[in-house]
Amino acid sequence: MTTSDVRRASRISSHIWISLLFCFIQLSIKNAHVDAEPASCIGNRNAYKGDEYDCNKYWICGTGFQLSCAAGMEWSDQARGCILPNTDFDDCGETGRDINECVSGAHTCDTITQDCVNTIGSFECHCKTGFELVDGNCTDINECEDSNGMCSHTCTNTPGTYFCSCPPGFQLATGQQMCIDIDECTKDNGGCSQKCANEAGSYHCECLNGFSMLADNRTCQDNNECADDNGGCYHACVNTPGSYYCVCLPGFTMLSDGRECKDNDECAVNNGGCEQICINDPGSYQCACTHGFALLADGKTCNKTTFDECEAGFHMCQQNCIDTFDSYICTCVTGFTLHPNGLNCSDVDECELNQDGCDHNCTNTYGSYECSCAVGYRLTGDNMTCEDINECLTDNGGCEQECVNVPGSRKCHCRHGYVISLLDDTKCSDVNECAVNKGGCHHFCTNTIGSFQCSCLVGFRLKEGGLQCEDVNECLSDNGGCEHKCTNTQGSFYCYCDNGYKLSSDNKTCFDIDECALKQHHCQQICSNTQGSYECSCNHGYTLLVDGRSCDENECLTGRHNCNQLCYDTPGSYTCDCNDGYTLLADGRTCTDMNECTTMAHTCQQVCMNTIGSYQCACRPGYKLNPDLRTCRDIDECIARTHGCSWEFGCFNTEGSYRCNCPLGYQLNADGYTCRDIDECASRTAECEQDCNNVEGSYICSCFLGYKLDPDGRACNDIDECALGKDNCAHDCFNHAGSYSCGCHMGFQLMEDGFSCQDVNECARGSHDCQQLCENTVGSFQCSCSSGFQLAADKKNCTDINECTKGTHNCSQVCNNQPGGYFCSCYTGYQLQADGLACFDFNECTTGTHQCSQDCTNTPGSYICSCKPGFLLQPDKLTCRDINECETLNGGCSTYCTNIAGSFYCSCGVGYRLDYDERTCVKDEAAKCYHPYGIFPHHSDCRKFIVCVMGEVISVQPCPDDQAWDLEAGHCINETLANCSRIVPPTKPPICEEGVYADMDNCGGFVVCSQNTLFNFVCPAGLLFNNDTKECEKAEDVDCGGRAKFADPLCDHPNGNFEEPTNCAEFLSCENYLIYRHRTCPNGLLYSEARDRCDWSSNVACGGRPSSPP
């Protein structure tokens, strides 16, 4: 092809491309998909190729579009455009129809690994996609070796292709390369009974609060919280699906924590309706009365039951009278003790009984005692304790130096260096420390007033501590004055000189010794003196030897040698040598020429040529000698243009030669001079990231679908369809390499088309967090609560509405909140009516459901047991036992006491009768015998009779109960029928005035007088009784005025009298666990809890407690 042909083809091509663009716009759609693309399109995507059967038509490879040339023109693959027929580049043939061997099957291509590409008049075998040409054969390309085939997970190579796969729990996205998670929860909630939680590649089931997962990891079962520590509930625990709630017993109220039950203190409101004492019980309450009162049938009102002899003055105590149940006891003031008769008081000798508390001396006085102290002591403010008198505070105790106070006296001490005088223990004398072992001094001791001093010999000094001496090292100060060297000795030092010097007469300075003059040297020839030493030297023609003393002759200087060229002196002889370029012969004297070239003694860089006494340098071919006549430099054939490279610019000079190179995209042929094109694509040396198309001297890169070529022309950049808005995602778009995938907003799930999103019904799937009710919304859900609950602040959990605390219930007594509602209950002793709201009292007394042994009194919600007169209610508050009044001070009877069930009576000896108090026996002037023998009426009491023997009254007997002596019948008959007009004992006079009074034994208690009966009360814990305001108030606001304070009003026992734990002579009277009186037995008696009375000490076991009254 000539140059003119090329230019003409270029002009035609330009014209064709303009026509082609116009035709493509007009016909691209109209001619789409007419026939199958020609085989020549294989591997030539976007290239233009002529139709195999119609010369007028051509294809855009890889698009399926077929186009037509203008009328009268045909397509030329060589010209890559439409040309006139039968002109240059006409490659369609005369017939216009090439035989397509690929279609007819007349080709030899391997149909498995190769594609047949028809050419004009022939065909070509090309490797199929996924295969590459290796040594003339098409072998499979393992796409998985290159970036894992762009697979996000597993790449599996197959002949000619490959495929991506995903691990379990993932599926391939639309691009068949990226793996996206399979949301197992979208199908049947993943098999979970409650919540299904999707996770990457898998999922797991979860349970709502209050449920536990079973072993199948799918099914949730309710947790019975009540089974573990009763759910933390104080009373009852009720389990519910997924939760639980606590319930309180009747008489209790649930606290805000929903677990703890607080007792309803009925006594806090109007004292529970009780007249005197209201006792709150867990879940209920009951009324009680103070000592001396009994509870009436209404269970709230109290009635007086006892008579206080002390207040009424009906006692025989000499000093103090203390009322007891139906009696009294006598006590004495401090300093006196009760007489054995239990009435009178005797002075206590506190000193003899060691009850005085005096530190030193005790002197008894009437009703008391006085303390005094020993010499050197004085009495303190408590008048019992003695404290030492510090004599040193007055005139230093008379001591000259130091005074030390000791118990009851003082001692004089002396300062260090002094000792107490033998004549006067207040004076101090000096101690001569040097008299004993030199006072501990190493060398010398000198006594001083009150002390001493140590000193040392010359050349020594005192060490720290002032006793021991140590040597002074004079050499440390200015070298001891020595000019050269100083040596320390014990107590002194001496000087000495360096070698070559001698010490002067001052024993400090040094002068030089002249060894040469004194002939004390070792020189062979010449000696020269130096400071502290000397030096040796030799005469002319001699050399000093290494010993620095001996001398040797230099034959080279004296000419007495046989050397041919050079002479060198040696100790005691000489040696011969030669000039450069010569070698010494074996005789050691004669020199001959040296061949530097053979002995490598030259400096030539490349070639050496020997000369007499020297040599010359030369260079190898390709080099020339430098001006230094030794080194060589390279000849650059490329600059000199003496090379044979086909590419003028491909000559590369080397040392001594050159080599040929080829331009980029070509490689050197075997001749080493000419170049051929490199197929970078076939050799896989191209830097294309994806597709490669070879061109002359280079190659062109292209990219897969979903990628675009980088400006560097090699790399392929992913097309971000999401950012460019080329995706079809309904919600979210996630770009991947070469493709993209769609996702959905929270609350939606991706449909099977991979683009659309549909709402997730979290309520139906159980993937919500609602505690109770769930309502699905678009993209989310809302929580709500069942009746009786309200939504919490987190909008998920439900909290119970407490109708009880809000007052929205209809219970008449106790409201018990429960999750989602409430239920009513009644206080103990009440029953719930059929409406489940109102309560009515249950009368235990009339229904016989009480446990009282004697009397039962119904109270609202409960009942109270009481005893008949003469009986005492036991601590169990149920049973009664008879009071043996005779066991306590003989029942108050002066002579005989007889106990009977519920009471007692006093009687007297013969000739005596009971006085009006029915306890004291007085001379019975009315007991007269009307006949020496017989039974006769009593003179003053119809209910008694006398027995006479020999004119003497031997006995006064009472009639049986409810009977009296009848004068006509002569014996006792029914009291209502008896004929008797004699007087009966008077009634008891009043013992107190109505009102409230302070308890003189306890500042924390008070006494109420009601209906001529005294009742004892105790203030609540921490309060004391204010007698001015008649109220229980704070302790700091009450003046007890000498009344004892009892900080702890609680008893260890509910009711009765009990021993005082710190004193055997005292006892506590308790009711309902409260101390209502702290009592002391009469002097000489101790309290016996077993007998519940004060008794003689021989009958009481105190167990180590003090047995004396306070």
Q: What is the pLDDT of residues 347-405, one digit of tens each?
A: 888 888 877 788 888 888 878 888 999 888 999 988 889 999 998 998 998 998 999 99
DSSP letter, residue 904: E
Q: Is 773 domain-assigned?
A: yes
Asked whether residue 928 falls in the same domain as residue 968, the answer is yes
Pick from 707, 741, 759: which residue ends a domain?
759
- The pLDDT score that the predictor gives to residue 327 is 64
Are 738 and 794 part of one and the same domain?
no
pLDDT at 644 over 50: yes
Position 454 scores a pLDDT of 92
Which residues, in sequence order, are bridge partners of residue 133? 138
Cα–Cα distance, 1075 to 1091 (Å, whole number): 20
3-class state of residue 118 by DSSP: strand
**Residue-level pLDDT at 67:** 81
Q: How far apart are CA 149 and CA 143, in angstroms?
A: 5
CB 634 within 8 A of CB 655: yes
Task: Locate 901 and state its tokens.
Answer: 């069930």
Question: Can you list the positions of beta strands (E) in 70-215?
Answer: 74-76, 81-83, 114-119, 122-127, 131-134, 137-140, 154-158, 161-165, 170-172, 179-181, 195-199, 202-206, 211-213
740 and 786 housed in the same domain: no
Q: Which residue in 326, 294, 328, 306 sits closest to 992, CA to CA?
A: 306
Rounded to an integer, the average pLDDT of 981-999 is: 57
CATH number at residue 507: 2.10.25.10
Q: Phi/psi class of residue 577: alpha, beta or left (left: φ > 0; alpha: ψ in -120 to 50)?
A: beta
In 470-629, which ranges are continuous DSSP H helix? 555-558
- For 648-804, where are the E strands, in sequence order? 651-654, 657-660, 666-668, 675-677, 691-695, 698-702, 707-709, 716-718, 732-736, 739-743, 748-750, 757-759, 773-777, 780-784, 789-791, 798-800
Asked whether residue 781 falls in the same domain as residue 740, the answer is: no
DSSP-assigned letters across all residues of 919-957 = S-EEE-TT---SSSSEEEE-SS-TTEEEEEETTEEEEEE
Quick check: is 952 in a domain? yes
Structure tokens at 133: 């040409």
Out of 512, 538, 558, a domain closes at 512
Q: Which long-range contacts (CB under 8 A, 24 or more apart) does 175-184 make?
A: 175/706, 175/736, 175/738, 175/739, 175/740, 175/741, 177/149, 177/150, 177/151, 177/152, 177/736, 177/737, 177/738, 177/739, 178/152, 178/736, 178/737, 178/739, 178/741, 179/152, 179/153, 180/741, 183/749, 183/750
The predicted model gives 907-911 an average pLDDT of: 69
Cα(1075)–Cα(418) distance, integer angstroms: 69
Boundary-marking domain end, from 512, 542, 568: 512
Res 39 pLDDT > 80: no
Across 281-295, 417-431, 1073-1087, which has the greatest mean pLDDT? 417-431
What whole-number distance in Å separates Cα of residue 821 and Cα of residue 800? 8
Q: Can you give the pLDDT at residue 29?
A: 31
The answer as to whether 901 is a domain residue is yes
* 735 in the same domain as 781: no
More confident residue, 120 or 1047: 120
If you average pLDDT over residues 5-22, what whole number do you get?
36
722 token code pair: 């999401």
- Residue 883 has a CB neighbour count (10 Å cut-off) of 22
- What backbone torsions phi and psi does residue 574 show, to the nearest 5 degrees? -155, 170
| Inside any domain, residue 568 | no
Residue 129 has pLDDT above 90, yes or no: no
Percent above pLDDT 70 for the chain? 86
Structure tokens at 114: 């190769």
Query: Per the structure block, which two tokens stand in for 200?
Result: 């990457």
Angle at 692 between CA 690 and CA 695, to 5 degrees: 160
Band (pLDDT 50/70/90 cuts) for residue 205 is very high
Taking CB atoms within 8 Å and a gap of at least 24, the contacts of 489-495 are 490/459, 491/457, 491/458, 491/459, 491/460, 492/459
Residues 911 and 944 in one domain: yes
Mean pLDDT of 259-274: 86
Structural domains in the chain (count): 4
Nearest-angstrom CA–CA distance, 784 and 764: 15
Of the pLDDT bands very low, low, confident and very high (cuts 50, 70, 90), residue 928 is low
Is residue 304 over pLDDT 60? yes
The closest alpha carbon to 393, from 408, 403, 385, belongs to 403
Contact residues for 186 (Cβ-Cβ < 8 A; gap 6+): 749, 760
929 and 964: one domain? Answer: yes
First to last CA, the chain: 148
Mark whether 453 and 493 lie in a shared domain. yes
Judgement on whether residues 904 and 921 belong to the same structural domain of the protein: yes
Segment 319-335 shows an average pLDDT of 78
Q: Which helix (H) or strand (E) is 17 found in, with range?
A: helix 3-27
Are residues 77 and 91 in contact, defined by beta-carbon separation less than 8 angstroms? Answer: yes
Express each pLDDT in 935-960 by its tens digit: 777 777 778 777 776 666 766 778 88
466 lies in a domain? yes
Tell whether 736 and 767 lie within a shared domain: no
Q: Quote the distance between the C-alpha of residue 723 and its chain's center.
A: 48
Residue 463 counted as domain residue: yes
Residue with the larger pLDDT of the pair 1083 and 199: 199
How far apart, in whole angstroms, are the C-alpha atoms of residue 752 and residue 182? 11
Q: In the numeric block, which tokens belong to residue 574?
A: 């000489």
Nearest CA-CA partner of 75 in 64, 87, 65: 87
> Where does residue 546 fall: left (phi above 0), alpha (psi -120 to 50 degrees), or beta otherwise?
alpha
Dist. CA 1089–CA 1086, nearest whole Å: 10
CA atoms within 13 A on the CB side of 263: 12
Residue 631 pLDDT > 70:
yes
Residues 459 and 483 in one domain: yes
Question: How far is the C-alpha of 974 from the C-alpha of 966, rounded, in Å?
Answer: 9
- Tell me the CA distances in angstroms from 1083 to 329, 603, 667, 1063, one per residue in order: 10, 143, 139, 13
Mean pLDDT of 821-834: 82
Q: What DSSP line would sit under 850-878, residue for residue?
A: ---SSEEEEETTEEEEE--TTEEE-TTSS
Give domain status of residue 824, yes or no. Answer: no
Q: Output 891 or 43, whichever has higher pLDDT.
A: 891
Domain range for 452 is: 437-512
Q: Does the residue 275 lie in any domain? A: no
The amino acid occupying position 378 is R
Q: What is the pTM of this model?
A: 0.29
State the pLDDT at residue 32.
36
Which is higher by pLDDT, 448 or 304? Answer: 448
The answer to whether the beta carbons of residues 197 and 190 sit under 8 Å apart is no
595-622 pLDDT tens trace: 888 888 888 988 898 888 888 899 888 8
What pLDDT, on a 0 to 100 scale, did the predictor assign at position 988? 41
More confident residue, 766 or 206: 206
* % of the chain beyond a pLDDT of 90: 5
| E strand or H helix at 247 | strand 243-247
Residues in the chain: 1110
Return the amino acid letter for 892.
Answer: G
Count of CB atoms situated within 10 Å of the CB of 325: 15
For residues 309-330, average pLDDT: 72
1008 beta partners: 996, 1015
DSSP for residue 988: P
Q: Which amino acid is at 782?
A: Q
